[in-house]
Every structure is written in C-alpha cells, then in structure tokens.
Structure 1
Amino acid sequence: MTTTSDSPTDGRVFRPAVLDLGDALLRPWGRGLDVPGGVVPALVAASTDPDIARWNPLDSADPAAAEAYLDRCDAHWADGTMAAFAVTDAACGILLGNAFLRWNNQADGIAMVGYWLLAAARGRGLATRAATAVTRWAVETADARRIELFHAVGNDRSCRVAERAGFPYEGTLRASWRFDGRDYQDEHLHARLASDPDPDLG
C-alpha cells in the first residue's frame, strides 16, 4: 500500500550540498567542515572583523561559542530548517565568508538569505554570486517560492549586493532589528520570486 503526505512542507527542507562557484566553494557549516587552521579559530577570527561585527554580529567570539554555532548548524541541517554555507577558496580551502538561508515561513515557501565576507574576499562580486547561487539552489531543491533579503539602511554595500543579485527593493521596515545590542534600526527589504529571472552576472 502506498501512502502520500499532504504536508505543506513536503520537499521544503534544506539538505547538505556543496555549491561550486569556480573560484570558491560553498560548503556546509558544521563540525565536519575542514578549513586551514581549523574551523573554530576561523570563526573566532571572523567575529573580530569590524564590518562583520557592525552589520552581521557573529556569536562566535570565543571557542566555546564557535563550537556551539557549529552544533546549531549541524542540527539545522539535520531538520532542514536552515542552510548555512561556509564560502571557501576553491584552491586552498581558506575561509572567505558565509552565505545562509532559513525559512521565514516553511509551509508557504518563504525563505530569507544572508551573507558576509571577510575583508580579503570583498570587491570581486563574491557576495553577489554566493547569494545568487544559494537562492537558485533553494528554488530548485527546496521549493522556495519567495526569498527575502534584509539589511540595515546604512549598509550600502549589502544594498548593492541585493540589487546585483536580482533582489528588487520592496520597502523600508522601521525599527525592525537590533544590530549588536544597539537601538532598533530601520532595514531595507529586498526579495526575489522563484519565477524571477536570474541576474546577468557576466
């Protein structure tokens, strides 16, 4: 006897994958991730980057916090609710940044995307390519129908990434998020639909 499920979240799960950007690989964060010098020291170091600390504060300021983050990543990969990718150099494997997705409304197919890059990896379009790649992957493998992107109004660099990655500006969310414990700040909302064409990154 064959049974079927009518759950609205059937198929809307994130499963571990490696995404190849040519010069960089997007690899699942977790205890099994191998980067030169060790994944825990790499995460601790990333948390001290001034731009990351300002716009994307990391809960990895010490080894115990970094290990807890990796455990959470493994748990989210296991239940399919979040996909956190380490952006690594394809040739030497060093950590370059992060790209992630999580469900805002899994039943309705609404996810959000985020990213950060270390200073040495900025300025070559990598954040745009990573955001585009994980968005395409979410649409093709997890049935995401709408992917949202939020950034602080003052984060002009992230706004440019959103526009280049094909996420049109949809509005300003007032006093919507606290960055690193500061007062609530306004955010821009950008979004892409599964039916939107991929951006031309040529």
Structure 2
Amino acid sequence: MTFAITPAIPAGALSATDQPALPSPGSDVLLRPWETDDAPVLQCAFQDPSIQHWHTHHVTSREEAQEWITTSHRSWQQEQAAQWAIARADSGEVLGRIALRWMDLLHGLAECAYWVLPDARGIGLAPRALATLATWALDEAGFHRLELAHSVGNDASCRVATKTGFVLEGTRRGAHLQRDGRHDMHLHARVQGDT
C-alpha cells in the first residue's frame, strides 16, 4: 500500500545501521544496546518491587532475560522499538533501562519508557538518560514527537518527564491495566523544536 504522505523516517533508515550507543554529554553515562552478558542484571532488576509495581512486563528467569535481549535486537532490526541499557561509560555496569517502546516511522512518533536500579536512584540518572535519548531521537533519528506515559501515582516518573522538557498534555483515564487494577496515565510529550 502506498501513503499519501512521505514518511517522517523512511523505512530502513534506522535498521540500515547497528543500533547506536549514545554517550550522555558531560557525564559518565552511556546508553548502549543490551548485551547477552546483561541477562543476570536484567533478571535481578525485575525482582525490584518498584520496577514490578510500575511495569507490566516481568522477567523471571535467566532464559527469559536472554530472550528479552534477543527480542530487543530484533525489534531494532524491524524498526518497531529500541532498547538501551543505561550503563557506566567506563565499566559498562548496567544502572537502568531506557527505550523507545514503540516507534511509528510514518508519522515520526515514539513512546519513551525507563527504569533505574535501586542503587542508582536519586542522582539524576533517569533525566540525563532521557535527555540523551530525546536529543538523539529528535535531532538525529528524525522523530518529530516523543511521548511518555506514566501512572498518575508515579510522582518520580512525572518529575523525570517534566525535568527533561516533556510537557504534561493531559490524563488518559483508565488507560493501563496493572496488577492492582486500572491506572489513569499522565501523557507527556516533547516535539522537535521544544527546548
């Protein structure tokens, strides 16, 4: 099928190259594609009560973690999503995860998601990682709009979004089903040209 519009990002533009590693300017943080050796830390991360509470996907075994990593690489090749480990640039130690959980290349839209391991919380890591991802997605990859949705009860995620220039646009009522029921979700967005 042909489209009446020119795609914001041509099909194949992202998958034509390897998923990039993204250094966070002025810090020792690097966003890098997940590696097979990261499976143990990924499995451990999903045992954290906070990550379990706010995220609907869970990883319960080493095999499941390895499959999650394999799927993340496949998603990049299929231009459906992109997952990065938030890591220390010097040692490669994983501190969290950040992603474009879905990507719409036709319209140039994507949705951001993230979590940070307990020992790396409270030091501004999530805002730095999100700012790095947004800069790459909007200025280099060619996305026009990035969205970010979080439960209205997740104050920490709301602070990360607003600190990083993601404007609160409204509330999607009953939008996500979690283990404890339906959650209203704040919708934030950042578009090309926002500062």
| Deviation per residue, 1:28-57 (Å, 9 max, x gap) | 12xxx26xxx31111110010111111124
- Residue correspondence of structure 1 range 107-146 to structure 2 within 5 A: 107-146=106-145
Task: Report the more deviating stretch, 6-15 or 88-97.
Answer: 6-15
Q: Distance in 1 between matches of 2:75 and 2:140?
A: 16
1:173-184 equivalent positions in 2, closer than 5 A = 173-179=172-178, 181-184=179-182
What does residue 17 of structure 1 align with? 20
Deviation, 1:78, is: 1.2
Q: How many residue pairs were aligned?
A: 185
**1: CA distance, partners of 2:20 / 2:138:** 14
- Residue-by-residue CA offset, 1:124-181 (whole Å, 9 max, x unaligned): 11100111111111112321101001000100000000010001111000000012x3
Report the secondary structure of 1:60's partner residue.
coil
Map of 1:87-102 to 2, 5 A cutoff?
Answer: 87-102=86-101
Asked whether the 8 Å contact 2:109–2:144 carries over to 1, the reply is yes
Give the secondary structure class of the aligned counterpart of 2:67. Answer: helix
Deviations 1:81-140 (A, max 9, x none): 211000111232211000101445321111111110001111111100111111111112
* Counterparts of 2:52 and 2:96, CA distance in 1: 13
SS at match of 1:187: strand
Q: Contact 1:13–1:81 at 8 Å: present in 2 too?
A: no
Structure 1 residue runs of 4 or more that deviate by more than 6 Å after TM superposition: none
- State the alpha-carbon separation in 1 of the partners of residues 52 and 180 from structure 2: 12
Give the match for residue 81 of structure 1. 80
Aligned alpha-carbon RMSD (Å): 1.8
How far, CA to CA, are the matches of 1:79 and 1:142 in structure 2? Answer: 15
CA distance in 2 between partners of 1:13 and 1:150 (Å): 24
Instruction: Report the AA paired with residue 68 of structure 1.
Output: E
TM-score by length of 2: 0.88
CA distance in structure 2 between the partners assigned to 1:57 and 1:91 by the alignment:
31
| Residues 175 and 186, structure 1, Cα contact 8 Å, conserved in 2 | yes
Residue identity opposite 1:140 in structure 2: D
Distance, in Å, in 2 between the alignment partners of 1:140 and 1:59 is 32
Please list, as runs of the form range in 1=range in 2, the aligned pairs for 1:123-202 lying within 5 A after superposition: 123-179=122-178, 181-197=179-195
Query: Equivalents in 1 of 2:23, 2:95: separation in Å?
Result: 14
- Consecutive unaligned residues of structure 1, counting only runs of 5 or more, are 1-5, 198-202
Unaligned runs of 5+ in 2: none
Corresponding letter in the other structure for 1:27: R
User: Does the 8 Å contact 1:59/1:65 carry over to 2?
Assistant: no
CA contact (8 A) 2:98 2:115 kept: yes
**Pairs within 5 Å for 1:44-55:** 44-55=43-54
